[in-house]
Amino acid sequence: MLQTIIDPQSVSQFAAWVEQYQKFVILGHTSPDGDAVGSTLALYHYLQSKGKQAQVVMPNVFPDFLKWLPGSDSVIFYRNASRSRKNVERVEQVIREAEVICCLDFNELSRIDEVGALVEQADAKILLLDHHLNPGDFADLTISFPTQSSTCELLFRFLYDLGHYEEMTVTEAACIYTGMMTDTGGFTFNSTRGEIFYIVGLLLDKGINKDVIYRKVNNSYTAARLHLQGEVLSRMTYLPKYHTAILELSKEQQERQDYHRGDSEGFVNLPLGIKDVIFTCFLREDTERDQVKLSFRSIGDFPSQEVAKRFGGGGHLNASGAERPQTTIAQVKKEFIKVLADFKEQLDEACKAEQRVSFKLSKR
């Protein structure tokens, strides 16, 4: 039996909205990842099954390796490659006409850029369902559980509490599993709770093929992406003093290697394969805006989000990020190395803790 963590009154409140209202807009965050896309599309399919008019809106496009997800072709992007005014007008219209706006996988309206102002002006009920720390106070109904591995895990619990599991389709289950898998790095971090795998079992019972989903997400890149990965790794900065590695990706590299959105997905995890590396940082120059994006990953108890806060960002214990406008990779890298000095003791302790990890085989 799945433990109940969501307040039943919150579940009843949303159920009443589904009963009362017809037009729903579902929002994911800027630079959507697997959790944002998976959760929004799963909720989209749920609302459609209830006979509702549902529309998923994203501030900008998501990676190609997520375009196989059912319903992804119906998503409206506020900003796309052509920066079409038609897209902007469509987003403005659907948000203006929405009766309920569902905000998934982000905790502040600033995480959806210009779309945030549209939500603030909207005359609609607002649901916030998310697993990030420090949720903003902008929603009529907030369901926030930072202890959850992903928004998709939280959404599954929400739909389960709504009594939807028996009617859940393989399509919804595949979307939810994709978000859970990608936001835990294939269940390699933030995924030690037994209930996560109980939920995976329930999703498998719905008919998903987790092996196919893994291949679609992780084995669908171009040859150019592999060349890019090799180039980025060849320029890695290894800082054994801090048990840390830094990867960098410039605009020039992205242009030369025919970079597509999502091609650098997972790069930040690669140096964690080095013995005694506890923390990694991936710096990428944004091709759409004058900024450097920082992604962090850590092992064990080292709090990556505490480092992210130093750069105006945030996230989770083992996965976090930030953005620095109007700067260069060289400047951010220099600042990052300086910040590492403040965390040296914690990095040393985290490394020692990993070395002490042992497994005892029980006799039966």
Per-residue pLDDT reduced to its tens digit, 327-347:
999 999 999 999 999 999 999
User: In whole angstroms, what is the distance from residue 48 CA to residue 167 CA?
Assistant: 12
* H-state helical runs in 189-328: 194-205, 210-218, 223-234, 251-256, 304-309
Is the pLDDT confidence value at 92 over 50?
yes
Mean pLDDT, rounded, for 51-72: 96
pLDDT for 40 beyond 90:
yes
Dist CA 200 CA 153 (whole Å): 9
pLDDT tens for 127-178 read 999 999 999 999 999 999 999 999 999 999 999 999 999 999 999 999 999 9
pLDDT score, position 166: 98
199 pLDDT more than 90: yes
Nearest to 263 by CA among 273, 274, 253: 253
Domains by residue range for the chain, with CATH: 8-217 (3.90.1640.10), 223-354 (3.10.310.30)
Determine the 3-state secondary structure of 328 from DSSP. coil
* C-alpha to C-alpha distances, 3 to 172, 194, 196, nearest whole angstrom: 21, 11, 11
**Each residue's pLDDT tens digit, 242-266:** 999 999 999 999 988 888 888 999 9
Residues forming beta bridges with residue 292, ordered by sequence position: 285, 324
Rounded Cα gap, residues 114 and 79, in angstroms: 10
pTM of the shown model = 0.90
